[in-house]
Structure 1
Amino acid sequence: MTPNAASISSGPSRRSFLASTAVATAAVAGGMPLLTACGGSDSGSREGATSGKAADKLIPTYVASKTAAKPDLPSKNGSTAGYTSKVDLAKLVTSVPDKLGTGAPFKIMSPFWGSPPKPGCAYYTALDAAAGTKITWQNQDGITYGEKLGAVLASSSIPDMVVVPSWELVGKIASAVTAKFMDLGPYLAGDKVKKYPNLAAIPSDAWRMSIFGGALRGIPMPAAPVPGIAPFYRKDIFDKKGYTVPKSPDEFLSWAKEATSSKAKVWACGDMRWSAAGFFGVLPAGSLGWNIGDDGKLTYRIEHPEYLEHLEWVRKLFDAGVVHPDDKANTGNASQRFTAGQILVYNDNTASWYGLTAEQAKANPDFEIEGMDYFGADGGDPTLYANPPANIWSMIRKGASKETIENALAAANFAAAPYGTKERMFVDYGVEGTHYTVKDGVPVKNDKGNQEVVNAWPMLAAPAPYTAHPDLPEIARKQVEWQQRQGAFVKKTSTFGMNIVEPARYATLSSQFEQLEIDFVRGHKKLSDVQQAISTWKSSGGDKLRDWYKKLLDKNGSGN
């Protein structure tokens, strides 16, 4: 049920940040108007996006699910809905009463983290039978997916359906989306979506972010606006040592020095850049990065004083020797160092709250993980920024037959089934007796289930964000309550909910900063190097890109 998102990368990078957040959405789940189109390119893509009433005409009518189970913890402050009670498996309801697929064959290309199951495995066969589909899965390595996606989109042979993550929408891939994938409006816009009730129950903000090049081209995986990355700490060790959870950057550094003992092979933390962005109120890596401040000025994330401050603070951690040597070398797996007790705090997606707890249940029953609440740079309230309403889409190639389109939509509708339904159970656990057994009313995957029932079908679409771990309900409660606390401090940026295609000439403008940040905090680059890079960014196109964004926002209004 849960891809091993924690091992997507050996060290924090922008791509792994986005991937881990998205995979967390897939694992746990099982906006404002967009901009109007302005400008174009030879490839057929249009710079900008689509907004307001124009967007409303393109998206599906929202119809709340009639089959979703009532959550024990309703969504609050943008959190996911939480389920902590046992669901009566004998009373699961049906969200797809009639098979919408005709059994016509079609191919799907999707990113996959881990070892994909064999074609024709029991899970794929059972899902096809239940949904009325016949899918050939072309699963590709999630780590190198962008390379494969770019090559496929540049070719003349594109699978019938392709999963497109937001973090791969760079360079030529962004323009190819409009050129190579079809407008789904004739099948889903307005009341047409009512043929697919689970798709109709996807929040409208997620659908608005699925407009590319002036048309509805994506079926979204909706995401909650609350932080998807948590600064995790080993509560069992904190309790044993009598440590107090830090509530400011200064307290963190002071605690880190106390907790680190290289002789005992224990270091306080890993690379804390992801969390530091939240501590210092910096727009996170992977966001559009533009926002109109209280002073009315439109600025990019690297232009804020807080940007340098958050990097300098992380640099202090490295300089103080409180970061594990392997994190400094950017090798190995931070989550494994965390479970081994070699580091006591690290960043990861919130899905790891469940994943690591389940993993350590037998080997280390004393293991206890908690999410540290974000704090501000002065120890006060933090300033956090909302995640986009969607960050993964499944798309159908232009030229697909009507039957292929209808079968692809049938598969997506099945995959988007809400919690408490037979279809959701099927997608998340497979077939009882084959992939899981029921113990004390709780489904438990066996080895076959862990190998086959992983991130394929859940990538096609998803219901409104929710969190449920039937075998570890207390973890679900902690996750949602953490989200609710952080959500109280979340703000929407001026570009929130906007699926913007920037001019291609700016595609690589900011690409140097990721490696520069990694090098600076480790002491390989000077502060003056970062400052010079910011100046170069401005003169080599940043200021012109600001003008481009300003025209869009002046014309169409802010996303917040």
Structure 2
Amino acid sequence: MTSHLTDPVLSRRSLLKGGTVLGAFALLGLAGCSNEGRGGEALAAGGSVALPTYVPYTGVPMDIKGADGVPDTMLRYPANPRPVTDGPPGDGQDIGIFGLTNTPVPPSVEKNAYWQELHERLGFALTIALTPSGDYSDRFQTTVAGDRLPDLFEMFPADVPGLPNLLEERATDLTSLLSGDAVKKYPFLANIPTESWQSCVYNGKIFAVPVPRGPAQSGVFYARQDWFDAEGIDPQVGSAEEFYDLCKDLSGGNTWALGRVPLGHLRQMYEIPNGWSEDGGTLTSANLHDRQQEALELGRRLVADGFVHPDGVPATQPQRKTWLVNGTIRMLDDTFSAWPDFSNYPIDDQFRLSVAPPPLADGGGTAGIHLGAPIQNITAVSARSEARAEALLDVLNYLAAPFGSAEHLFRTYGLEGVHHELDGTDPVLTEQGRTEIQLGLKYVVEGPWVNFQASDPDVAQAEHDAQAAVVPQAVRNPVQGLFSDTASRRGSQIGERLAAAEQDILAGRRPVSDWAAAVKTWATGGGDTIRDEYERALAERNG
């Protein structure tokens, strides 16, 4: 298989559900719990605390060293990976984790050779309460209310109402253990880029460890390059109208250009900001951008003229990927992190993807993609486990062992001959491996993202090339790493209303002009308060 990209982590939820282009409230950073409650303050990730010193791990040379925000790339897994830790981590006591999963729950430890071997290597039992990502927010709130948080617990920061207060009450302050050079005691946590730590700081204290993602979560637009090459068509167009014409040419019979309206891609064409724009400390929501209606109008035309699969809205992203693989559609929006996922689909040796950067709507160049969030989620240490904080950080450090180490090889691919077989030096998961290793450890902690595809270096190379072409010019969201209490409590509610209006417009049930009224309702319903809170948080972060 040869390929170019796929999966926006998106919003965190949409990424965990299989990758997606950003809809209204996901794109604008408004995902959150709908619980009402007291609040209205925003806390910056920063204050006077010194973020952990960044010390990149250099023990495993990369085939392609990343630059300008582009992740490192490995074309082949290193031969004979060496251990990078000395003995079992922690204090020998068992550890409980409240975690999430985006895959079927694996066999229990009694029937799971991977889990049993993990215990053997750790020297203690790791109990993991796995919750499907779609149910995570509700289950987390129930667990907190019942005062049942275990030693380690994962969170999506934007989705936790009153997060700073919750962390003060239920989490251990890790500042003295991680701030500045203190993190060097945990070299693989020090290997996590500085920007990712901003989402772990509240009230001037470090309360968690991040799971970094960054550019891998950026939403991109995929084309079936093998098909385009065979037909002599270039998927890269020069304007919004040329994009419409391309979709028209690709649609007909039982084939459609698109699996859904790639609204994130369209908004990038019209240079609509990545969630918010900032000018001298003043923030403006992308909802208010004067070209929103133009992007929506283009999306409405694509639906009305039959260029979007008729089942695209209710379909899941895995279903849309299947359509792309079997030729039902020709293009699909997703994220960089989804590209390797196509190896799990019935593709042939000719299958190849490419990434088409968004053209400026009016022509004359290429627009910037929206840069993905620096983190996937964060993991905190329970206040009840404060006395074990150093031991728990030692375990997190062990689990964050870098790509190419013996620890990383086992954590990700399990035992050779059982969970994976070697293709040259590349570990390729067996069916038992695909089933047993899904313990959600990549959501507990992880080192920096590395582009890699076992048995197919062309995919990793193509992903690197695509990232190198678009990531350095990608548009950042200026509120990343900041917290708005109103967004966490009411963002989902007002965002869903705006998203419903958006879908009605795209489906032709409402005129495009209704967008202005829908945005006004969003603003008065909490959007303006969210802006004010983010501005205060931004000012605090900037000193």
- TM-score of the two chains, using structure 2 as the length reference: 0.86
Deviation at 1:315, TM superposition (A): 1.2
Instruction: Indicate the residue corresponding to 1:104 in structure 2.
Output: 93
What residue number does 1:412 align with? 396
CA separation of 1:504/1:456 partners in 2, compared to 1, >3 Å: closer, same or farther?
Answer: closer
Query: Which structure would you say has the larger RCO, counting Cα contacts within 8 Å and 6 or more residues apart?
Result: 2
**Residue-by-residue CA offset, 1:379-429 (whole Å, 9 max, x unaligned):** 3221334333223111121121523x3443233112211112111111111
Does the residue aligned with 1:292 lie in a helix, a strand or coil?
A: strand
Q: Structure 2 residue aligned with 1:302, among 287, 307, 311?
A: 287
Task: Verify: 1:19 aligned to 2:13, yes or no.
Answer: no
Unaligned runs of 5+ in 1: 25-40
CA shift for structure 1 position 195:
2.6
Quick one: structure 1 residues 43 and 549, their matched pair in 2 at CA, closer, same or farther if it must change by over 3 Å? closer
**Aligned 1:506-517 pairs, distance under 5 A:** 507=491, 508-517=493-502
Q: Is the 8 A contact 1:20 1:348 kept in 2?
A: no
Q: Would the alpha carbon gap of residues 45 and 326 (structure 1) be closer, same or farther in structure 2, given more than 3 Å must change?
A: closer
Q: State how far apart, in whole Å, the 2-side matches of 1:375 and 1:276 are.
A: 9
1:501-547 residue CA offsets vs partner (Å, 9 max, x unmatched): 44777544434222222232122332233211112233344344434
CA distance in 2, matches of 1:64, 1:180: 31
Other-structure match for 1:397 = 382
CA displacement at 1:477 relative to structure 2: 0.8
Q: Does 1:151 align with 2:104?
A: no
1:456 to 440, 445, 448: 440
Counterpart in 2 of 1:341?
Answer: 327
Q: Is residue 476 of structure 2 the alignment partner of residue 492 of structure 1? A: yes
Q: Are 2:212 and 2:448, in contact at CA under 8 Å, matched by a contact in 1?
A: yes
Match of 2:175 in 1: 185
CA 1:190–1:213: 2 relative to 1, 3 Å:
same
Change beyond 3 A, Cα 1:45–1:212? farther
Q: CA–CA distance in 2 between the matches of 1:496 and 1:137?
A: 29
Distance 2:507 2:19 in 1: 27
Match for residue 356 of structure 1? 342
Structure 2 counterpart of 1:27: none
Question: Match of 1:323, as an amino acid?
Answer: V
Three-state SS of the structure 1 residue aligned to 2:43 is coil
Determine helix, strand or coil for the equivalent of 2:96.
Answer: strand
Q: How does 1:323-342 map to 2 (within 5 A)?
A: 323-328=308-313, 330=315, 333-342=319-328
Residue 249 of structure 1 deviates from its aligned partner by 2.0
Q: Is the 1:435–1:445 Cα contact (8 Å) retained in structure 2?
A: yes
Identity percentage over the alignment?
Answer: 23
Gaps of 5+ in 2: 22-35
CA shift in 2, pair 1:190/1:297, >3 Å = closer
2:49 — aligned with what? Answer: 55
CA distance in 2, matches of 1:306, 1:414: 48
| Aligned residue number for residue 56 of structure 2 | 64
Cα deviation digits, residues 283-308 of structure 1 (max 9, x gap): 44xxxx332249x8531110001322
One-letter amino acid matched to 2:103: G
Q: Which residue of 2 aligns with 1:32?
A: none
Moved more, 109-118 or 507-516: 507-516
- The two structures have a TM-score, normalised by structure 1, of 0.84
Q: Does the CA-based 8 Å contact 1:150-1:173 persist in structure 2?
A: no
Is 1:317 matched up with 2:302?
yes
SS in 1 for 2:384: coil
Aligned residue in 1 for 2:230: 240
CA contact (8 A) 2:183 2:190 kept: yes
Residues 339 and 376 (structure 1 numbering): CA distance in 2 closer, same or farther, change over 3 Å? Answer: same
Alignment counterpart, residue 290 of structure 1, candidates 269, 273, 276: 276
Counterpart CA distance in 2 for 1:106 and 1:140 is: 17
Per the alignment, residue 523 of structure 2 pairs with 538
> What value does the CA root-mean-square deviation take over the aligned residues?
3.1
Post-superposition Cα deviations, 1:160-203, rounded to whole Å, max 9, x if no partner, equal 21111345x24456753443222122332333323321112211
Q: What are the equivalent positions in structure 2 for 1:104-123 lying under 5 Å apart?
A: 104-120=93-109, 121-123=112-114
Following TM superposition, by how much is the alpha carbon of 1:131 offset from its aligned partner in structure 2, in angstroms? Answer: 3.0
Equivalent position to 1:84, from 68, 75, 89: 75
With over 3 angstroms needed to count, the CA separation of the structure-2 counterparts of 1:64 and 1:193, relative to structure 1, is same
One-letter amino acid of the structure 2 residue matched with residue 74 of structure 1: K
**Conserved in 1, the CA contact under 8 Å of 2:222 and 2:332?**
yes
Structure 1 residue matching 2:257: 3-state secondary structure: strand
Matched residues, number: 518
Mapped partners of 1:455, 1:371: distance in 2: 31
In structure 2, relative to structure 1, the CA distance for the partners of 1:329 and 1:519 (3 Å cut) is farther
Take 1:13 and 1:84, find their aligned partners in 2: how far apart are those partners?
Answer: 26
Choose the corresponding residue for 2:189, options 193, 199, 203.
199
Question: Which whole-Å CA distance do the structure 2 matches of 1:352 and 1:22 have between them?
Answer: 7
Q: Is the 8 A contact 2:84 2:405 kept in 1?
A: yes
Deviations 1:243-275 (A, max 9, x none): 22132321121011111112xx11111221232
Q: Deviations over 1:62-81 (max 9, x none)?
A: 323242x2222211231111
